[in-house]
């Protein structure tokens, strides 16, 4: 179905289910309990999961499949945000034209940047993309101020023309973003017992787009085009010797992943109609690299997982403060408690970057395949413990080497 | 003419910093073949060595001074730094005043140790991993170092002053026969340039004229053969890593008075230094130094007003623009060696 085999279809259905049920799944702790601060089921955060999931999925198409490590993908995110906000200013607050322009503009940008950068590979490619992204960031801050509004960031104001839509809402404010009348800010709260679930229109909008993005990348992974990209990753030279020019393929992958980034940027602007240059800074590019690696490069689920983990930590860890720590470790003896709190303080609050840095290092050192590989290893370990005989040397003899080695 | 001279001078201090960081990066890359994204963090740690030194020297104890009273008539509390009580007020005051240059002595062992620990503890395990992994793990390390500094020193820039003797500027133009007040140049920047010239010269001399340096150069050219000769090249490369870290740290120590250290200064410099290394040519030490000064001076020329009037915003992007042009026309960089990073 849908051009997928049975296994992938099952996978896709699971992803769809998880995505749609997120508002419930991420709210496991009842309201008012001590663990409620670990709930992640509020719209703002869930939207970020979906949006950065899209961003990371797109990045994975480039990095995971071709092995080209781009350090400048945030530039496309920024371009997407700016173009979407401009659409909100000029046309209407409907998100559709904004998203379409975001994808087109970032695609064009990616085409130009990719055409130049892909002439080189390896670390030179990383530096070239980094240079382009920093250039866009610096320009957005300085000369392009008429377009980007510099440090303040681009915002929607009452005096914007908005020729197709409302200029001013009934209450006299700037109208909110909507999708053919469905307000992005609208949310429905449902209380079940002491649990409270928030179903927001904005999240579901992002989620449905994310599912489409996921499906598309699944198709790309399974397509001959995807196979070609993998060939580039494993041995580009050999590919060249067979008479194939790899560059059109890498360029296509670069543009596609740039468009994904633009879509994510457009969605960010749709959820909160403003765009700032700091979205293009190279730390933002580093963040998407982090997400992809953390989850697992080249896997389908990894980037989404990585994006989720990082955004969750950013939101939840940064909220934990000293008082909360005292509550948690109050049962320890006094001296020990102060030591533990002293150590833990490095990792929470404004120090959550440290947590992500440490986690990232641990993953790169011990789990090059990311969290997905970790999951597979645990699975394999449990299987072996249950007496699974899949690794029985008798029945699975090692293949004899081709030539004497 | 005077404008050209002034911009050249202005570019020198940034160029010196780029050159020193890029030199360390290239050393690490040429010897160990590792792309070190944490090098900017080493530069930052150097700068914070200067901050720490200034703070250490200023640690004071409070005494009640009966000769002075506040407006209520109580004896005034007077803070006296320990150094002043140990070495006498005059000597102590000048020690505090000179804390940035003194921090050089303090930072060299620290940076050597940090570099050594980094190489033995982490980077050693990454020689055989792909470059992408090296970039990623050092990037993670840079984040951790940066956050540690942020945790202990706060997020705001910390002003660190140069010795009084080097404060202020001098009229460079009058010495060369220009009108007074045309070319005014702060003393400290000149000191910084001279310092970087000495450090860079020392590194080159070390590699050129000592037996140790000779072995390292041989190892850079052909690691395997040197190993076969029975020389423990890994140990020497580890020491070179420490030296590269020390060069970055020294660049940071002396840069503290020019630009108040903050926790993300390393990352800001790192991006540019990588561009410098690539422009100079991966693995070429003279290339890195040359490109560092060249790009520093170019940046300062591009920030002249009449150039900005012709091409707005050029000062922001000139370095990246040059890098892109050079990478596309001369893929090996200005002085890149053949066969380095060409896979």
pLDDT tens-digit profile of A197-206?
A: 888 888 999 9
- Give the three-state DSSP class for B231: coil
| Tokens 């993309």 sit on residue | A129
Measured CA to CA, the distance from residue B157 to residue B149 in angstroms comes to 12
Least Cα separation, residue A124 to chain B (angstroms): 7
pLDDT > 90: percent of chain A: 30
Q: How many CB atoms lie within 10 A of CB B321?
A: 16
**Residue A404 to residues A18, A208, A400, A401, Cα–Cα distance (Å):** 50, 54, 9, 6
pLDDT tens, position by position, A159-169: 888 887 777 77
Q: Within 13 Å and on the Cβ side, how many CA atoms surround B190?
A: 13
Q: How far is B121 from chain A (nearest CA, A)?
A: 12
C-alpha dist (Å) from residue A190 to A27, A30, A193, A200, B212? 12, 13, 10, 11, 73
Determine whether the interchain pair A123/B131 forms a contact, defined as Cβ–Cβ distance below 8 Å.
yes
Which residues in A have their CB inside 8 Å of a CB on B? Answer: 67, 69, 116, 119-120, 122-124, 126-128, 130-132, 134-135, 138-139, 141-144, 282-283, 286, 289, 293, 345-346, 350-351, 353-354, 356-358, 360-361, 364-365, 368
For the segment A26-43, what is each residue's pLDDT rounded down to a tens digit? 888 887 777 777 888 788
Answer yes or no: are the C-beta atoms of A9 and A1 closer than 8 Å. yes
Rounded Cα gap, residues B287 and A270, in angstroms: 47
Domain membership of residue B339 (yes or no) is no
Number of structural domains in chain B? 1
Token pair in block for residue A359: 């986690």
Q: How far apart are CA A325 and CA A343, in angstroms?
A: 11
Nearest chain A CA: its distance from B108 CA (Å): 26
Structural domain boundaries of chain A? 6-169+176-319
Taking alpha carbons only, the member of B271, B250, B269 closest to residue B46 is B250
Q: Is residue B134 part of a domain?
A: yes
Per-residue pLDDT of chain B (343 residues; tens, 9 = 90+): 677 888 888 888 888 989 999 999 988 888 888 888 889 999 999 999 999 988 888 888 877 777 777 777 777 777 778 887 788 778 888 888 888 888 888 899 999 999 999 999 888 888 888 877 888 888 889 888 988 898 889 888 888 888 887 877 777 667 777 777 667 778 888 889 999 999 999 999 999 999 999 998 888 888 888 889 998 888 888 999 999 999 999 999 999 888 889 888 887 788 888 888 888 887 788 989 999 999 999 888 888 877 777 777 787 788 888 888 888 888 777 877 665 555 4
How many Å apart are CA A172 and CA B37, to the nearest integer? 51
- Number of other residues whose CB lies within 10 A of the CB of residue A290: 26
ipTM of the complex: 0.80
Across the range A203-212, mean pLDDT stands at 93
Burial label, A401 (beta-carbon count in 10 A; 0-12, 13-18, 19+): exposed
Residue B253: count of CB within 10 angstroms of its CB: 31
Distance of alpha carbon A19 from alpha carbon A212, whole angstroms: 11
- Classify residue B260: in a domain, yes or no: yes
Token pair recorded at residue A47: 């939207």
Of A250, A209, A215, A248, the C-alpha closest to A229 is A250
In which band, very low, low, confident or very high, does the pLDDT at A388 lie, cut at 50, 70 and 90?
low
Q: Where are the beta strands (DSSP E) in A156-246?
A: 178-179, 182-183, 187-192, 195-200
Q: Is residue B62 part of a domain?
A: no
What is residue B342's predicted lDDT score, i.e. its pLDDT? 52
Range of the domain at B115: 2-56+107-329
Confirm if A112 and A127 have CB atoms less than 8 A apart: no
CATH of domain A6-169+176-319: 1.10.3470
In a domain, B281, yes or no: yes
B129 neighbourhood in chain A, CB within 8 Å? 368
> Looking at the domain assignment, is residue B128 inside a domain?
yes
Chain A contact for B275 (CB, 8 A cutoff): yes
Question: Sorting pLDDT into bands at 50, 70 and 90, what band is A404?
Answer: very low
* Residue B112, pLDDT score: 92
Given a contact cutoff of 8 angstroms between Cβ atoms, the answer to whether A50 and A42 are in contact is no
Inside any domain, residue B15: yes
Q: Output phi, psi for B60, to 5 deg.
A: -125, 160
Q: What whole-number distance in Å separates Cα of residue B153 and Cα of residue A346?
A: 13
Name the 3-class secondary structure at A54: helix
Q: d(Cα B158, Cα B168) in Å, to the nearest integer?
A: 19
How much is the average pLDDT of A99-106? 95
Question: Measured between alpha carbons, how far is B305 from B312 in angstroms, rounded to an integer?
Answer: 9
């Amino acid at each position: 179905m849908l051009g997928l085999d049975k296994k992938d279809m099952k996978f896709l259905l699971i992803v769809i289910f998880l995505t749609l049920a997120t508002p419930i799944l991420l709210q496991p702790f009842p309201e008012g309990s001590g663990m409620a601060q670990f709930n992640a089921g509020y719209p703002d955060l869930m939207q970020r999961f979906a949006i950065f999931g899209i961003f990371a999925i797109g990045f994975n198409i480039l990095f995971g499949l071709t092995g080209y490590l781009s350090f400048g993908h945030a530039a496309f995110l920024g371009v997407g945000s700016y173009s979407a906000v401009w659409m909100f200013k000029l046309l209407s607050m409907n998100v559709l034209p904004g998203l379409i322009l975001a994808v087109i503009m970032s695609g064009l940008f990616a085409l130009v940047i990719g055409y130049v950068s892909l002439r080189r590979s390896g670390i030179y490619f990383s530096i070239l993309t980094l240079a382009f992204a920093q250039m866009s960031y610096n320009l957005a801050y300085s000369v392009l101020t008429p377009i980007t509004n510099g440090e303040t960031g681009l915002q929607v104001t009452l005096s914007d023309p908005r020729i197709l839509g409302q200029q001013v809402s009934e209450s006299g404010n700037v109208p909110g973003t909507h999708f053919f009348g469905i307000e992005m800010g609208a949310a429905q709260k449902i209380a079940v017992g002491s649990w409270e679930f928030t179903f927001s229109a904005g999240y579901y909008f992002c989620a449905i787009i994310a599912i489409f993005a996921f499906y598309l990348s699944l198709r790309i992974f399974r397509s001959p085009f995807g196979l070609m990209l993998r060939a580039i990753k494993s041995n580009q030279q050999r590919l060249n010797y067979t008479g194939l020019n790899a560059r059109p393929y890498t360029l296509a992958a670069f543009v596609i992943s740039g468009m994904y980034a633009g879509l994510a940027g457009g969605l960010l602007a749709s959820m909160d109609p403003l765009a700032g240059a700091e979205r293009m800074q190279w730390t933002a590019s580093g963040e998407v690299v982090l997400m992809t690696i953390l989850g697992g490069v080249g896997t389908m689920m990894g980037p989404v997982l990585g994006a989720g983990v990082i955004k969750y930590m950013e939101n939840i860890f940064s909220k934990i403060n000293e008082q909360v720590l005292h509550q948690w470790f109050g049962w320890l003896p006094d001296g020990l408690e102060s030591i533990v709190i002293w150590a833990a303080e490095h990792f929470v609050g404004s120090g959550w970057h440290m947590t992500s840095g440490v986690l990232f290092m641990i993953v790169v050192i011990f789990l090059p395949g990311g969290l997905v590989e970790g999951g597979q290893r645990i699975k394999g370990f449990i299987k072996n413990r249950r007496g699974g005989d899949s690794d029985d040397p008798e029945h699975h003899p090692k293949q004899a080497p081709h030539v004497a080695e | 003419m005077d404008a050209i001279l002034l911009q050249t001078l202005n570019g020198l201090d940034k160029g010196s910093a780029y050159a020193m960081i890029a030199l360390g990066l290239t050393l690490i890359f040429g010897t160990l073949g590792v792309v070190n994204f944490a090098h900017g963090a080493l530069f930052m740690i150097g700068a914070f060595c200067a901050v720490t030194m200034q703070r250490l020297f200023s640690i004071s104890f409070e005494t009640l001074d009966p000769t002075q009273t506040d407006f209520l008539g109580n004896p005034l509390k007077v803070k006296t730094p320990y150094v002043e009580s140990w070495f006498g007020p005059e000597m102590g005051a000048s020690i505090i005043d000179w804390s940035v240059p003194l921090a050089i002595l303090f930072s060299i062992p620290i940076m050597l140790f940090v570099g050594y620990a980094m190489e033995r503890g982490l980077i050693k395990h990454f020689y055989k991993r792909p470059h992408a992994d090296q970039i990623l793990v050092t990037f993670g390390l840079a984040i951790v170092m940066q956050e540690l500094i942020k945790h202990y020193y706060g997020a705001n820039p910390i002003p660190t002053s140069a010795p009084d003797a080097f404060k202020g500027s001098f009229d460079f133009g009058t010495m060369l026969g220009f009108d007074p007040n045309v070319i005014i140049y702060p003393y400290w920047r000149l000191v910084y340039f001279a310092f970087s010239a000495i450090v860079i010269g020392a590194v080159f001399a070390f590699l050129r004229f000592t037996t140790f340096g000779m072995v390292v150069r041989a190892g850079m050219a052909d690691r395997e053969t040197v190993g076969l000769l029975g020389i423990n090249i890994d140990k020497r490369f580890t020491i070179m890593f420490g030296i590269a870290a020390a060069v970055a740290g020294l660049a940071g120590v002396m840069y503290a008075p020019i630009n108040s250290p903050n926790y993300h200064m390393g990352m800001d410099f790192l991006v540019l230094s990588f561009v410098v290394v690539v422009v100079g040519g991966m693995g070429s030490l003279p290339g890195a130094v040359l490109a560092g000064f060249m790009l520093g001076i170019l940046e300062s020329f591009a920030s002249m007003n009449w150039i900005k009037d012709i091409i707005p915003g050029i000062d922001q992007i000139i370095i990246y623009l040059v890098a892109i042009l050079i990478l596309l026309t001369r893929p090996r960089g200005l002085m890149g060696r053949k066969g380095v990073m060409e896979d």
